[in-house]
């Protein structure tokens, strides 16, 4: 069983906030030490996850980051796959939100650069 403190440790400088947060959520959900959850950790082979476990994890991630809209075609087998997908979705969301803000605040000039 992992302690709350070890599952909640801050991400290292090398990893981004998203990666660290996802690793912490996986550690919490798996009742394992966050240091044992790496990009190379396989959900089924290393953590014993089945489809229900993955669904529960996605719900935890959505509670933390908002709607992540992962599809079965995303081929998420490793922790690193999930981190990359969440980062891609986050970047796309930021770009959309930035474009909306741009159009709302200065549609004549700033949005031309989109």
pLDDT band (50, 70, 90) for residue 1: very low
CATH number at residue 14: 1.10.1200.10
List, in sequence order, the alpha helices (H) in the chain: 4-7, 17-30, 43-47, 51-65, 79-105
Distance from C-alpha of 65 to C-alpha of 92, rounded to nearest angstrom: 13
Instruction: Give residue-wise pLDDT tens across range 32-47.
Output: 999 999 999 999 999 9
Residue range of the domain that includes 35: 4-113
Predicted pLDDT of residue 9: 43
pTM of the model: 0.67
- How many structural domains is the chain composed of? 1
């Amino acid at each position: 069983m992992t302690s709350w403190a070890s599952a909640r440790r801050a991400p290292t400088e090398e990893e981004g906030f998203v990666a660290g947060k996802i690793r912490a959520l996986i550690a919490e959900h798996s009742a394992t030490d966050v240091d044992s959850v790496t990009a190379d950790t396989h959900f089924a082979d290393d953590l014993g996850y089945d489809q229900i476990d993955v669904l529960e994890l996605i719900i935890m991630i959505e509670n933390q980051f908002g709607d992540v809209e992962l599809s079965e075609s995303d081929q998420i087998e490793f922790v690193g796959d999930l981190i990359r997908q969440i980062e891609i979705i986050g970047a796309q969301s930021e770009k959309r939100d930035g474009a909306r803000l741009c159009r709302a605040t200065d549609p004549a000039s700033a949005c031309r650069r989109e």
